[in-house]
Chains A and B, each alone.
Chain A
């Protein structure tokens, strides 16, 4: 066992922290209020190499390990989860998916610009009637010989507007159930793709979420990822990795709320002393800290397993479910500690609480994580 981070991991954590504390904090409230995409920040973070930080340098990535990635996502999420979800989708769903399962030509053409951050990726799995039950895809990719013809609608797509490269999950052989599903790399500017209105979300408002409609969209055959029928497995594998990013995000949200609660409790006075000196508040801080530490450790364990090339599906589900649930609890307590100040936007904790809620829902709800975890324990 070794709980020490390497010098490089610490340097990456510090780089992410510096960017968040110097830059993201400046306009995070304004972007949240206006639901404005962080274009400038994504450009800067791409220049720093964060958009493809876990991709092999041979495909223009940063070549960093998953531990470093988790540390960077946590730091950014302490300040701004809208930015970290853009990074997380790009890195651990889209780039990871193409790097792990794509062929060389796909990597050359799509992974490289994604890893450089010149292009942003989106992952199109959810549908109006297929969320948690992802095998019930209604989007159809009809095999037309040298191309596929895609028709259908995808919902709740993060980066839908800002992305130019989509990974689309669709049914080619509905009669085969989940074994008839395929994954495709689709360029957003393909004829026949249109976007629904910008979703007016509760939190993570500066990340762009839309539905995406496909009407007779032609996709070249060489853009299918893996063998015919590999799509469902592909999606599940990508989500296993993606969940580590969302777990790290939830840790960041919780830990950001804890930091602010500690600072406030040491400054605010009531009944003649700082409220931190009242046991009711001190114990809240203690409970919050234990939860954050637990969640962080689960998240790092999942990242470590992935870096070691060991199975990490159960660990990433555990990390995601626990971190998301405690992020909700910890942010709620942080608002409580702040009292009335916690309920106004200036003090950030109400925003962190709104952001925390999404981590329990997207990339697999907490309930879906419990299915994954329990099945791994109960199956023969």
Chain B
């Protein structure tokens, strides 16, 4: 089986978020880019499966939609252990645009893994759209992925428990935390080998974005914490009612 991991190139989670002067674009100056954490866990799980299921998985590919500055992120995925990488040469405009770009690569794979969301825009839309483009099944909120005797089994967290599903391939697994414990750190050997692994660049397909980003704003700063004495329930109720306006 061939496994594809769709990767978003996102700002490091500790990034200080800034916008341009008229708040119409995210200011990318000085940003350190990383593999979207959910995608990195998906890659980790794919590598674990490749190592533990004999010859079941013949290849692990990573793909990203992005300009040249997305390549370090893809090369890190290669250093961690992916066999090859594809960059689709376009600015990722919105989820629909990205999903349609990914579809041209994903059609050749059996297991397609997408993170449940990307840590920048948190759209949670690409995985589902991708399966629609390919007309194949998708399973969302996947927290476990196993291959037993060639059959793919996935677990989903559901209200009050979890369910196990078996699925045909090809399919899209939209994965959440739990799919792997923690991402791998690339080894010196991995970093050295990544120099020689293929990173292919494909042209983007003609398509339109369906959404437009109008403006950005930061969430309001967290206000200071007020401490009310345990004896003073009336003051607490009063504050919740009149100041916080939550009751």
Contact = CB atoms under 8 A, between A and B. Distances in A.
B127 to A, nearest CB: 26
Interface residues of B, number: 14
B185 A11 contact: no
Contacts of B189: 49, 62
Interface in B151-205: 182, 185-189, 191-192, 195
B75 interface: yes
A93 B174 CA distance: 49
A57 B192 contact: yes
A130 interface: no
Given A57-B192, A63-B192, A48 B72 contact: no
A57 B187 CA distance: 13
A354 B71 CA distance: 41
Contacts of A12: 188, 191
A10 B195 CA distance: 14
A15 interface: yes
Interface residues on A, range: 20 to 34
B197 to A, nearest CB: 13
Contact of A48 (B75, B76, B185, B195): B185
Contacts of B42: none
A53 B76 contact: no
Contacts, number: 43
B79 interface: yes
A7 B72 contact: yes
Query: Which of A18, A48, A50 is the most central at the interface, judged by chain B CB atoms within 10 Å of its CB?
Result: A48
Contacts of A63: 188, 192
Nearest to B192: A63
B188 A62 contact: yes
B72 A49 contact: no
Given A7-B72, A11-B75, A19 B188 contact: no
Interface string A12-29: 101100110010000000
A15 B185 contact: yes
Contacts of A146: none
Contact of B192 (A15, A47, A50, A62): A62
Interface of B: 71-72, 75-76, 79, 182, 185-189, 191-192, 195
Interface of A: 7-8, 10-12, 14-15, 18-19, 22, 47-50, 53, 57, 61-64
